[in-house]
Structure 1
Amino acid sequence: MNKYFISLLEEETPKYIIITRHIKKLIDANKIEDGERLPSIRGLAEFLDVNNVTIVNAYKKLQSEGYAVQKIGSGTYAKRKDISKNFKKEYSEVLKKISSKALYEYIDFTGETPNNAFFDIGAFKNVINEVLDRDGAEALVYQEALGYEGLRESISEVFWANKVNSDDVLIVSGAQQGIDIVSKALINTNDSVIIERPTYSGALSVFKSRRADIFEVPMESGGVDVERFEKILKKNKIKCFYTMSYFQNPTGMSYTTEKKKQILRLAQIYDFYIIEDDYLSELIYDKDIEYRSFKSLDENDRVIYIKSFSKIFLPGIRIGYLISPIKFKDSIQNSKINTDISTSSLMQRALDLYIKQGFWKDYISNLNNLYKDRYLFTEKCLKEFLGKKVDFISPGGGLHFYLKIRDCIKVDSINLFRMAKNRNVLITPGTLFYKNPSDGRQYFKMGFSKTNENNIREGVEVLGHLME
C-alpha cells in the first residue's frame, strides 16, 4: 500500500488533511479495500517522514468522516462509506449542468429514447397543419375527460384489434404520469406492493412517495423469480405488482409467456393487481421473442396496462394511455382529472391522424431496422473491449444493455461514472434502480439510442481502459 503515498506531502495544506484526503480517495477507488488494515501509525509516520501525531490526527479525521474504524489492540481499518444513497442527486445535477449544446461534446450512453434525427419532422408538421385546417380552434380548446375520442378509437383498432373498447382507454401524459395516477388511485400508506429488483427509478420514487411497503423480487432470465414471488404473497397482503414486461429498465430482460401466465394465476389466487408498463416492446430484434402482453393474456381483469408513445416517438409530445380493470376505472379517471384535467388536445389529434395515415407503422418499421444494426454493433463492441471485465445478457431488443462489473475489477459503477464523465463519456450507474442503492454498485446501464457507431466504439473503448 505504501506506493500510493509517494510524493504526497508537497502541498502547503496541513499534512494530516492531505493524508486524510488521499486515503479517502484510495478507499473510494477500492485501492484500499473495505475492512483492510491501514498501516500502523509509527510505520506510516516513518514512511512519510512526519511525526506520529500527524498520522493520529489523520486517522481520527477518517473515523469522524466514516472512512475508518479503530479496533482496540488491533489497529485502524478502512471503512467504505456508502455514497450510493446520495448519488441520485449528484447524477441528476451532472446531467442538468451539461446543457443540450454541451451534450454534443459527450458520448452519451444515458439516453432512453430514440434519436430525433430518425424522425421525419416534415411528415408530422404536415399532419399538425392538416388537423388545424380540419378542426380549427377546436383542436386547441376541446377537451374530453378520457382523451380525444378519435385517438382512443385508433388505439383500440390499430393496437388491440378492437378487443379493447375505446371507452376503456384513458389518455395520459406519458408512462410516468400513468404510474403516478394509478398509485394515487390504488395505493394508500402502508399498502404493500411488489416490484422487480432492480426496477425503473421513476416508479420506485412514486411508490416511496405513497409510503407503501415495498417488496423486491429479483429479475432473472424470463422474468422475476416466481418461487420467491409467491413466498412474499403467502406472508403479506399485496395490493399490486409493478412490472415492465419487455426489455425491462434496467436489466433489458423480457418475460416469457409461461411466466406471465404463472403470475396472472397468482394474481387471481392472492387477489392483487398487475401494473404493466409496456416499455419499448415495439423494438424486438430477436425473432424468438414473442410479443404477448400481460393484458392480452388477462382473463380475470387483473391488469392495469400502461403504454407511452413518448418513449418510442417524440418525448416532447408527452402522450400515453392506460387501460384499467372495470373495478378501478372511475377512481383512476378521477385521479387523472385531479392531476391535470386533460392531455394536449392538439397533440392527441395529430397523433391520431399520424396513426390513421400509416406513418406510425412505417416509422416503427424503419426504427427497428436502424436500431437492430446499432444494437448488434454495440453488442460486438462490448464483447471486444469489455468482454473480460463485465458480464451481460443480450436483451434481443430495446435501446440499452445492463452490465455487471466483475469482482476482479477494482472499480464500482459510481467511480466509473465519475471517471468516464471526465473523459466525456456518460453512463448510468445501477445504484439508481434499487430500493437499497448500494445493491447496484457493481452494475451500470449503457444506452445506445443517442450515439452513432463511431462514438459507441470510442466510448466503450474508454470504459475498457478506465476499468484497467
Structure 2
Amino acid sequence: MTVTEPARTAAPLPPTAARAAAVGGSPVRDILAVTARPEVINFAGGLPAPGLFDAQGIAAAFRAVLEETPERALQYSTTEGEPALRAAVAARTAARGLATDADDVLITTGSQQALSLLATVLIEPGDTVLVENPCYLAALQAFAFAGARVVPVPCDEAGIDPAALDELVALHRPKLLYTVPTFQNPTGRTLPAARRAAVAEVAERRGVWIVEDDPYGELRFEGERVPWIATYPGAEDRTVLLGSFSKVMAPGLRLGWLRGPEALLRACVVAKQAADLHTPTVNQLAAARYLADADLDAHVARVAGVYRERRDAMLLGLAEALPEGSGWVRPEGGMFVWAKLPEGYDTGELLRGVVAHDVAYVPGAPFFAGEPDVSTLRLCFVTQSPDEIAEGLRRLRGALVA
C-alpha cells in the first residue's frame, strides 16, 4: 500500500513595509550601472577622482594602527566614536570658526548615516521637512523613508529665498530645514552670508531645526569662504552640522560626523546603537593617524587645484555643447555644474540618445521635491581630465545640438 503525502501549500510571506515600496532607488546609481562601459565619458557620477587619493598616506596610517595597536583597531568601539578622531574633527571645526570639542561630535558611517539618524530621531510620519529646490537626492530618500512630508523652498541662483522660507515655516510648522549651503549638490551654488544670517534668524524666531550638510565646503577654487550657518546668531543651539571625509580623504573609509546640541546628540547615539553599534574602529583610528601624520589641508589644496582646472574645462565648452538659450551656474568649488536647457527639452527623455553617443549626465528631475524642471541636468567635472571633458562635451553636442 502506498501512502500519498498531502500536498504542501505555502502561505505567502508578509509584504515589505509600505515605505520600502514607495521610496525609489537612486537614479544616479542606475545611470552609473548602465554607463559603466569604458568608452563612456561619464559626467553622471558624484565620485571624487580616484587618481587623486593619497593612497600611500592612507595605507601608511592603516599599517601603523594595525602594527602598533591591532587589538584595539580590530575590536568593538564606543558608539560615539574613537576619542582621537572625535578630537581631531572638533579641532578642525573649531579652527574654521565654530567652537567645538570632542563631546559635541558623533562619528557616523558616512554623513549619509548622519542624515538617517536625524530622520529617525526628529521625524514622525507625516511631519514636514523643508528642503532646497532642487535638493540632494539621497536626503530626499532618507526623509521619505522616515515618512516625512517634504516641501521644497523656492531658490534662485544664490540659493534659498529667506522670505519664502519664512512664509513656509509659518504655514507648515516643519521639524527641520535641510540645506547644503556651500557648493550645493546638485546645483553647485553657494548661499551668500546675508542669506545665511537670514536663515538663522527665521529658524530662531519660528522654532525649527537646521540641518547644515557640508561635504564639499573644503573644495573651494576661488572666492572667500563663507562661514557655516551654525556660526550665525540664533543658529547656535538649533543647527546640526554634518561633515565627511569622503570628498577630501576617501569615500571608501565611510567616515562622517555629526556636530550638534547635547540632547539631540544623545538621541542620535541611541539610534546609531540600533543601526550599527559603531563605525568601524580600524577606519576611525587610521583616519585619526592620517590627520596626525599627514597634512590633509595641503592634500585638499592640491585636489582643489586639479578640480579647478577641470571645472574651467567644462565651463569653457558648455556654450557649444548645449543648445542655444541654455544657462548654467558657475560654481566656486565642489564637484558639479547645473545646467538648464531651453523650454521644450526633457533631459530624461534625451538621456538614452545621449548615452548612445558614449557620454552621460544626470537628468535634473529626480532632485526636485515638488514639480520637477525636466529641462535641467547635472554634470560632474572632477573625474575626467580637461581633454576628456572636452571630448565628452563634443559628444554631448552631437547628441543635443547636431
TM-score (norm 2): 0.89
In the alignment, the residues of structure 1 paired with residue 247 and residue 352 of structure 2 have an alpha-carbon distance, to the nearest angstrom, of 27
Where does residue 175 of structure 1 map in the other structure? 111
Q: Give the Å deviation of 1:347.
A: 0.8
Q: Is 2:367 the counterpart of 1:430?
A: no
Q: Give the Å deviation of 1:236.
A: 2.2
Structural RMSD (CA): 2.0
Where does residue 9 of structure 1 map in the other structure? none
Q: Which of 136, 144, 150 does residue 84 from structure 2 map onto?
A: 150
Q: Which of 369, 374, 380 does residue 310 from structure 2 map onto?
A: 374
Larger radius of gyration: 1
Per-residue deviation, residues 352-406 of structure 1 (Å, max 9, x unmatched): 1111123312210111111111111111111343372420120111111000011
Q: Give the Å deviation of 1:261.
A: 1.0
Letter in 2 for 1:460: L
Letter in 2 for 1:122: Q
Where does residue 375 of structure 2 map in the other structure? 442
Secondary structure of 1:155's partner? helix
Change (3 A) 1:235 1:98: closer
Q: Which of 163, 171, 176 does residue 227 from structure 1 map onto?
A: 163
Where does residue 33 of structure 2 map in the other structure? 96
In the alignment, the residues of structure 2 paired with residue 126 and residue 467 of structure 1 have an alpha-carbon distance, to the nearest angstrom, of 47
In the alignment, the residues of structure 2 paired with residue 346 and residue 138 of structure 1 have an alpha-carbon distance, to the nearest angstrom, of 8
Secondary structure of 1:156's partner? helix
Change (3 A) 1:422 1:126: same
Q: Is 2:350 the counterpart of 1:420?
A: no
In the alignment, the residues of structure 2 paired with residue 87 and residue 427 of structure 1 have an alpha-carbon distance, to the nearest angstrom, of 19
Q: Does structure 2 retain, via aligned residues, the 8 Å contact 1:219–1:225?
A: yes
In the alignment, the residues of structure 2 paired with residue 190 and residue 323 of structure 1 have an alpha-carbon distance, to the nearest angstrom, of 26
Structure with greater proportional helix content: 1
In the alignment, the residues of structure 1 paired with residue 209 and residue 50 of structure 2 have an alpha-carbon distance, to the nearest angstrom, of 36
In the alignment, the residues of structure 2 paired with residue 224 and residue 88 of structure 1 have an alpha-carbon distance, to the nearest angstrom, of 26
**1:317-328 mapped onto 2 (5 Å cutoff):** 317-328=253-264
Percent sequence identity is: 25
Letter in 1 for 2:187: T
Q: Give the Å deviation of 1:97.
A: 4.4
Per-residue deviation, residues 72-107 of structure 1 (Å, max 9, x unmatched): xxxxxxxxxxxxx999677644432455xx3x2210
Secondary structure of 1:202's partner? helix
Letter in 2 for 1:155: V
Secondary structure of 1:123's partner? helix
In the alignment, the residues of structure 2 paired with residue 260 and residue 86 of structure 1 have an alpha-carbon distance, to the nearest angstrom, of 31
Where does residue 391 of structure 2 map in the other structure? 458
Letter in 2 for 1:450: T
Per-residue deviation, residues 21-40 of structure 1 (Å, max 9, x unmatched): xxxxxxxxxxxxxxxxxxxx
Q: Give the Å deviation of 1:312.
A: 3.0
**1:15-26 mapped onto 2 (5 Å cutoff):** none
Where does residue 359 of structure 1 map in the other structure? 295
Where does residue 230 of structure 2 map in the other structure? 295
Per-residue deviation, residues 229-278 of structure 1 (Å, max 9, x unmatched): 11112222121000001011111111111111111111111110000111
Change (3 A) 1:456 1:269: same
Letter in 1 for 2:249: F
Letter in 2 for 1:96: A
Q: Is 2:71 the counterpart of 1:137?
A: yes
In the alignment, the residues of structure 2 paired with residue 278 and residue 160 of structure 1 have an alpha-carbon distance, to the nearest angstrom, of 15
Where does residue 404 of structure 1 map in the other structure? 340
Q: Does structure 2 retain, via aligned residues, the 8 Å contact 1:181–1:336?
A: yes
In the alignment, the residues of structure 2 paired with residue 298 and residue 179 of structure 1 have an alpha-carbon distance, to the nearest angstrom, of 24
Q: Which of 99, 104, 127 does residue 61 from structure 2 map onto?
A: 127
In the alignment, the residues of structure 2 paired with residue 91 and residue 281 of structure 1 have an alpha-carbon distance, to the nearest angstrom, of 22
Letter in 2 for 1:168: D
In the alignment, the residues of structure 1 paired with residue 381 and residue 33 of structure 2 have an alpha-carbon distance, to the nearest angstrom, of 20
Letter in 2 for 1:153: A
Letter in 2 for 1:297: Y
Q: Give the Å deviation of 1:142.
A: 3.8
In the alignment, the residues of structure 2 paired with residue 116 and residue 305 of structure 1 have an alpha-carbon distance, to the nearest angstrom, of 26
Which has the higher relative contact order, 1 or 2, with Cα contacts under 8 A spaced 6 or more apart? 2
Letter in 1 for 2:66: L
Secondary structure of 1:440's partner? coil
In the alignment, the residues of structure 1 paired with residue 390 and residue 325 of structure 2 have an alpha-carbon distance, to the nearest angstrom, of 16
Q: Does structure 2 retain, via aligned residues, the 8 Å contact 1:282–1:364?
A: yes
